[in-house]
Amino acid sequence: MAKLYFYYSAMNAGKTTTLLQSAHNYRERGMRVLIMTPSLDHRAGSGVVASRIGLQAQAVAFSREDDLATHVRNDIAAHGRLHCVLVDEAQFLTRAQAWQLGDIVDELHVPALCYGLRTDFRGELFEGSQYLLAWADELEEIKTICHTGKKATMTVRVDEHGRAVHDGPQVEIGGNERYVSVSRAQFKKISRGEGNLDPAQAALPLERRDQPSCWRTDDP
C-alpha cells in the first residue's frame, strides 16, 4: 500500500544521501522513480540533487506555483508506470503541494518519500514541514549529532564570526558555511549570545570506485 513518508532532521544529517540510496534501491530492482527538488535550491545546478559526500542525480525542479500531482500524472502518461516519487528539501513545499503529494499516494497509488528540515534557524516550522508532519502516514527522524555529542535537533544560522543570526528571511540557501546543527540546549545558549560556533566541518575522506557521479532517474 502506497504511503506518504516524511524523513526529517536538522542540517547535515544525510537526508539527500538517504534519498539517493532509496532511489538507487528502486532502480536496482528495475523500478522507475521520479526525483523532485525545489527550484530555489540550485547549489549543485538547476534540477540536480547532490549530497555532501559527492553523490548526485538529475531531478525535476519545481516552483511554488507548480502542481506536483499534475506533474506526476503527466510523467506517468508519458513514461509509464512510476514506482516512487522522492522529494528533496521538502521543507520548501507549500501547503498545497504537501496536499498534492497526498493525492499522488491516495489517487495514483505511488509512494511519496519526502526529505527535509523540520525547523528553521529560529526554531520554527517550515511551511512544508508543518503540513507533512500533520498529514504524512509515516514520520521518521534522521539523526545527527551536536558538537557536544548530544543529538542535534535544531539548526543555527551563523555569521562570518560563528555567532547566531536572529534576523533575516526564513529561506536563505546555504551549507556548512552558514548553518550548524546543534542540540536544543546549545541552540538556547548560542541564541543568547553565549559563545560562537565554528561552521567549518572536516570532510570524511572517502574512496570511490570508478563510476559515473551522476545517473539518470527516468530510465525504466
- Which 3 state secondary structure label does DSSP give 185? helix
Q: Write the CA distances from 203 to 52, 82, 171, integer angstroms.
A: 9, 36, 25
Distance CA(159)–CA(118), nearest Å, equals: 22
Please provide the size of the chain in residues. Answer: 220
Element (H or E) spanning 35, and its range? strand 33-38
**Which residues are CB-neighbours of 183 under 8 A, at least 6 positions away?**
146, 148, 150, 151, 152, 153, 154
Name the CA dihedral angle for 168, 174, 178, 182, rounded to a multiple of 10 degrees. 100
Distance CA(120)–CA(132), nearest Å, equals: 15
- Whether residue 34 contacts residue 85, with contact meaning beta carbons closer than 8 Å, is answered with yes
Which one of 28, 65, 89, 127 is the catalytic residue?
89
Cβ neighbours, 10 Å, residue 209: 4
- Whether residue 217 contacts residue 27, with contact meaning beta carbons closer than 8 Å, is answered with yes
Whether 124 sits among the annotated catalytic residues: the reply is no
Catalytic site residues?
A: 89
